[in-house]
Amino acid sequence: MIQKFEFKETEIKGLFEITPFNADDIRGCFTKDYSKEVFEDNGITHDLAEVFYTTSYKGVIRALHFQRVKQQPKLVRCISGHVYDVVVDLRKNSSTFKKWLGFDLIGTKHNEILVPAGCAHGYLVLEDSIVSYKCGEKFYGEYDDGIMWNDSDINVKWPLDKIGGIENLILADKDKNLQTFKEFMTKYGAFEMDRNTTQKNGGGYKLVLWPSLAVLQEAA
């Protein structure tokens, strides 16, 4: 069976859930999860700068991450296993500012999401999993940052029951020490979408995002 690319827009502008090209037969399957040409034909610009993979055990949570400067748009897919993936809009002039959406990314479904720059991203691992990130910007360790996975203002409803409860959560020291949403707003004032550089591209758009003045001052 052959499955062609499908692109589903979400409430958060620039965030797409994507079904990639997939061909199944008696040998297994052949998957193409990114095509510059197909994406652009559907009004989406996503140029690759780097590709990363994570291997995670059931119960791991990696959240909620972003890059303060040179934010990274990323195409995220669970290659094997199952993760509950969350995206939070941190663009203050977005109509969905502070809204979060969750997706079940499952290896056997081959589904993926395109996370726009200016959003926080993370996931809870529901089965031992391998996840790929196809990033549109390089990773800069000095700008690596995030918000606590359980921040009360954002209030993500993580399916902790699917890992047997919060006592089974596996959290790295890095993620234990992330800031709250209030601290993020006080320090950085959210990210801004420069409407003057938003380019229409067929039925879609290309978003060019800039950090707040506070971030620029810190980076200077």
CB count, 10 Å around CB of 19?
16
Query: Which residue range is the domain that position 24 belongs to?
Result: 2-219
Q: Quote the pLDDT of residue 194.
A: 46
Q: What percent of the chain has pLDDT over 90?
A: 81
Q: Quote the pLDDT of residue 200.
A: 30
pLDDT tens digits, residue range 187-197? 988 887 644 32
- Dihedral in degrees, nearest 10, Cα atoms 87, 93, 95, 96: 20
As annotated, the active-site residues are 65, 133
User: With 60 as the cut, is the pLDDT of residue 147 above it?
Assistant: yes
Identify the CATH number of the domain in which residue 165 sits: 2.60.120.10
Using pLDDT thresholds of 50, 70 and 90, give the confidence band for residue 84. Answer: very high
Using pLDDT thresholds of 50, 70 and 90, give the confidence band for residue 96. Answer: very high
CB count, 10 Å around CB of 213?
11
State both tokens at 199.
């380019």
Q: Give SS3 for 194.
A: coil
| Residue 58 per-residue DSSP state | T
Q: Quote the pLDDT of residue 39.
A: 95
pLDDT tens digits, residue range 5-26? 999 999 999 999 999 999 999 9
User: With 80 as the cut, is the pLDDT of residue 220 above it?
Assistant: no
Q: Quote the pLDDT of residue 3.
A: 87
Chain center to CA of 164: 25
Q: Quote the pLDDT of residue 148.
A: 98
Q: Quote the pLDDT of residue 16.
A: 97
Q: What is the bridge-based pairing of β-strands 61-67 and 16-19?
A: unpaired
Number of domains forming the structure of the chain: 1
User: With 60 as the cut, is the pLDDT of residue 140 above it?
Assistant: yes
Q: Give me the chain's average pLDDT, please.
A: 88
pLDDT tens digits, residue range 150-182? 999 999 999 999 999 999 999 999 999 999 999
For residues 62-73, average pLDDT: 94
Q: Quote the pLDDT of residue 201.
A: 37
For residues 123-142, average pLDDT: 97
Q: CA-CA distance, 83 to 123, in Å (whole number)?
A: 6
Q: CA-CA distance, 4 to 144, in Å (whole number)?
A: 35
At 55, the amino acid letter reads T
